[in-house]
């Protein structure tokens, strides 16, 4: 009996050791997907200084935010870094100072005006810079082989000079009147801030949270279901979803956390599918009765 207990204990210890080895291997694989933090930091410093130089040139006060997964300390090799410039629309005389005119073309580090687009064009390590004039004006560029997206958010109201200025901006009816899509990046940034308030700082559990997001991103991309432009999973969706599961199982290791994420995802998806099927059946049944009544 004693021998059997000892053998069971040894088996349990072996299983625990094997689990730790597998977790360490998985963490190592996920760590290889991360960029050098110092490189990104230096690139951000250079781009920030250029943006504030542009703000001084046009004599405007701006708010500069770095959003996306970078807020969670997640900076994978293929991911881009999202920046947002927020300013009062009444203090801004057109898009020309942001993306320049039609003649503003970046070629051989030469650009004809003092727009932000041209200032960024002249940086040594910048390449493939493009301007996108849509509902949210955007400058896309590659700096030291890192992709950056710089969005311009124009607000009809003044930006409050308070710590909770984003909340006040999102609650203002005048700002909401310009359309949800134009202030959507601010809402996403605020959602990330809310998640960060719930996640413990700089401990193993935070590491598990970040690794879970990286693993799910890789899985979604490899499964061809990543990209919010096509209605698939995005970084924001995964962050919100995984933070919910993480808060339900805060003490789970990385393996268990990933299992719970997939299990919950399948459960929720199954419940939604059943609900949708029931609604469809009711709709078809009701319309069938109506059609039968009309025919008779």
Nearest to 196 by CA among 166, 239, 233, 228: 239
Instruction: Give the per-residue pLDDT at 52.
Output: 94
Cα separation, 261 vs 40, in Å, equals 30
What are the tokens at 209? 């949270």
pLDDT tens profile 50-77? 999 999 988 888 899 998 888 888 888 8
What are the tokens at 5? 């207990």
Residue that is written with structure tokens 């203090």 in the block: 91
186 near 164, Cβ under 8 Å?
no
pLDDT tens profile 207-239? 888 899 998 888 888 888 888 777 788 888 888
User: Which H helix or E strand runs over 148?
Assistant: strand 146-155
Give this prediction's pTM.
0.77
What are the tokens at 2? 């004693």
Query: 201 exposed, middle or buried (CB, 10 Å; 0-12, 13-18, 19+)?
Result: exposed
pLDDT tens profile 127-162? 889 988 877 889 999 999 999 999 998 887 788 888
User: Which H helix or E strand runs over 250?
Assistant: none
Rounded mean pLDDT of 101-121? 81
Q: Confidence class of residue 290 from pLDDT cuts 50, 70 and 90?
A: very low
69 near 40, Cβ under 8 Å?
no
Domains, the chain, with CATH or none:
37-198 (3.30.460.10), 204-291 (1.10.1410.10)
């Amino acid at each position: 009996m004693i021998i059997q207990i000892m053998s069971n204990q040894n088996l349990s210890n072996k299983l625990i050791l094997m689990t730790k080895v597998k977790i360490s291997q998985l963490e190592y694989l996920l760590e290889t997907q991360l960029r050098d933090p110092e490189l990104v930091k230096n690139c951000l410093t250079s781009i920030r200084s250029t943006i504030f130089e542009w703000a001084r040139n046009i004599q405007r006060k701006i708010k500069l935010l770095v959003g996306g997964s970078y807020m969670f300390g997640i900076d994978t090799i293929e991911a881009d870094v999202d920046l947002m410039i927020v300013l009062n629309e009444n203090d801004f005389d057109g898009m020309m100072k942001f993306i320049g005119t039609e003649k503003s073309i970046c070629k051989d580090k030469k650009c004809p005006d003092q727009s932000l687009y041209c200032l960024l064009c002249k940086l040594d390590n910048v390449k493939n810079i493009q301007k996108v004039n849509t509902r949210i004006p955007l400058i896309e560029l590659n700096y030291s082989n890192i992709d950056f997206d710089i969005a311009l958010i124009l607000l009809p109201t003044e930006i409050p000079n308070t710590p909770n200025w984003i909340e006040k901006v999102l609650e203002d009816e005048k700002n909401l009147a310009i359309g949800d899509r134009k202030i959507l990046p601010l809402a996403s940034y605020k959602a990330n801030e809310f998640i960060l308030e719930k996640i413990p700082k700089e401990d193993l559990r935070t590491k598990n949270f970040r690794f879970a997001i990286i693993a799910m991103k890789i899985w979604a991309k490899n499964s061809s279901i990543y990209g919010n432009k096509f209605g698939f999973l995005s970084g924001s969706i995964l962050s919100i979803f995984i933070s919910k599961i993480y808060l339900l199982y805060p003490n789970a290791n990385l393996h268990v956390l990933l299992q719970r994420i997939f299990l919950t995802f399948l459960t929720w998806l199954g419940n939604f599918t059943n609900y949708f099927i029931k609604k469809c059946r009711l709709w078809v049944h009701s319309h069938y009765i109506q059609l039968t009544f009309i025919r008779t």
